[in-house]
Every structure is written in C-alpha cells, then in structure tokens.
Amino acid sequence: MGKKLLFIYNANAGMGKIRPSLSKVIERLCQVGYDVTIYATQAAGEARDIVTRRGESVEVVVCSGGDGTINEVIAGAMRLDKKPRIGYLPTGTMNDFAKSLGIPGHPLKAVETVVAGHAYSCDIGSFNGRNFNYVAAFGAFTEVSYQTPQRNKNALGKMAYFVDAIGRLPKLRGYHLRAKADSRYIEGDFIYGMISNSKSVGGFMLEDKKHKISLCDGKFELILLKNPQNPIEFEQVIQCALTHNIDGNNLVALKASNIEIKMDEPVSWTLDGENGGTWETANVFCRKGAIDIFAGNMGRKKKIG
C-alpha cells in the first residue's frame, strides 16, 4: 500500500485550467507510489473542511486551484495536531504564493515538485485568530481581488483586476492608524497597508536584488503607503506602489514578527485576496515554519523519502 495522498481541486479556477491535465497529474502521482483519493470542491470552505476531517489520515494533501484554495487547505491543516505535507498546483489567476515558492504554473510541471519531495518549512500568519499564507492588507484596491466577478477573472485574467481597480480610483481615502511592529511604533494617515510573506502580491514582484524576502525567517514585511496631500504626492505614491520603491519618503517599510494595528474606525481587510472582515484592531503574528510545502528550486529544506 502506497503513501496516502488527498488530492483536492477547484475545477473552476483559472478557466478550468486543471481539467485537461487532471488524469495525467493523478497518473503521475500513482506512478511514484501514492495511494490517491480525489475530492472536487463545490463551494467556498469545502477545501478547508475536508482537510480538517481527513488531513490526519493522509501523509500528503495536494490541491489545485488559486490563492483562495491553498489558503483553505493550509487553514484546515493548521487545525490539526498531525499536519500533512502540502503540495500545490497553481491554476488560479494571480498565483502569488506559488511564484514565491518557485512552483511552475503548468499542472504537469507543478506536480513534479511533489514527486521530487523537497519540502519547504513555510511561515504562516495569524490575523485576529485566522490563518493566512502570504498577505493581509487594507485600503486602496484591496477589495478588488474578491469583488471582481469570477467570470471577469476567467475571461480577462490579470487584466480583470486592473479594469476593476481603475473604476475605484475616485474612492481612494486615507486611514489614521497607530501601529506597533515588534518594538517600533508608527502613527499616521495611510491609504494602503500590507503585511506580507511573499515575493509577489497582486501580480507585482516585491523582491529585488536589494530587498530579499524569505518565507521562513519568522518575520513578515510591513508596508504602509502614506496618504497623499496633493496631486504631486498622489503621483509619487502610485509610482511607489507600482515600483515597490521602499527607499522613498511616501511609505513605511520594515520587518516584524508581531504587528498590532489600531484604526480610528472599522476597516475592511483582505486575507490572501479573500474577504478578511472589518476590524478596528488587527493583531498579526508569524507562526515560524508552521507548514511543510513542496516547493520548486528555492528553499529546499528537507527531502521527504
């Protein structure tokens, strides 16, 4: 009897990207000795619930879908005392988390990261008691990812996000906040805030030669974009956001393991591109190396036999 593997897939993610490759993916997993059980999700929350119920009875859980699917799978695994290792075949629109882990975008290439068996101990975030994988954010455009209709995402891909974002430009506003990031204190008005554990967010690369990002260092990147006071500052802030120029005067950027952000009013947040609720206070901390994920060419921590 081979090692037990639970395969969960979202057939609607990324225009049904997994469908043409599904049988070959399963065949490949069986070829290397896995005893595969398949589950197709039908609604939000199902991936989390099936991992919670079945996760301790298998050694590996592989999921195919977008950032929302992998968020649910890891959320389910985090509920367990005995956590399965996680494989990810990214078939969504943005696939930011997969890019950070060096996982290829095509299912038949991505499944080889599971076959190779190199697991990466990845940090996982806690946001007011709810887990997230790679980003918690508030402010400008953060609602675009979960309010953009799925049919638009399927038809236009990344462009769907940008089309929806342009229509929201007139609604930009600042939020007054007080933040504590480990031992540092910040106060001011900001139009956008992001706590991330990723090299890519919203399709934009955050890492460059000067600013390296690790997914297993026990720290998150906190970025706060200041509220512009005039058209020149507005242009500078938008340019800063697009280029991730963290040396500019228009944002705060630092690393921290524990972050508390207090707002003067309830503010909507997103977690991994999904609706994260409305909060006046956000308590975020890093769970260092909480989940073992099969990764690509980076961060190979241990070989699973």
Q: What does DSSP assign to residue 214? A: -
3-state helix, strand, coil in the chain (%, to 5): 30, 40, 30
* φ, ψ dihedrals at 64, nearest 5°: -125, 125
**Integer Cα distance of 31 and 253 in angstroms:** 46
Helix (H) or strand (E) holding 299: none
- The set of residues, in sequence order, having a beta carbon less than 8 Å from that of 120 and lying 6+ positions away, is 101, 215, 216, 292, 293, 294, 295, 298, 299, 300, 301
Sign of CA dihedral 191, 195, 201, 204: positive
What's the longest Cα–Cα distance across the chain? 67
Check if the beta carbon of residue 225 is closer than 8 Å to that of residue 190. Answer: yes
Direct distance between the N- and C-terminal alpha carbons of the chain, in angstroms, rounded to an integer: 15
Q: Which residue has the tokens 């020149």?
A: 232
Q: How far is residue 190's CA from residue 195's CA, in Å, rounded to a whole number?
A: 14
Separation between Cα atoms, residue 291 and residue 8, nearest integer Å: 17
Residues tagged active-site: 274
The interaxial angle of helices 107-116 and 22-31, nearest 10 deg, is 20
Instruction: Provide the token pair at 80.
Output: 């367990």
State how far the Cα of 78 lies from the Cα of 302, in Å rounded to an integer. Answer: 20
User: Which strand (E) or helix (H) includes residue 210?
Assistant: none
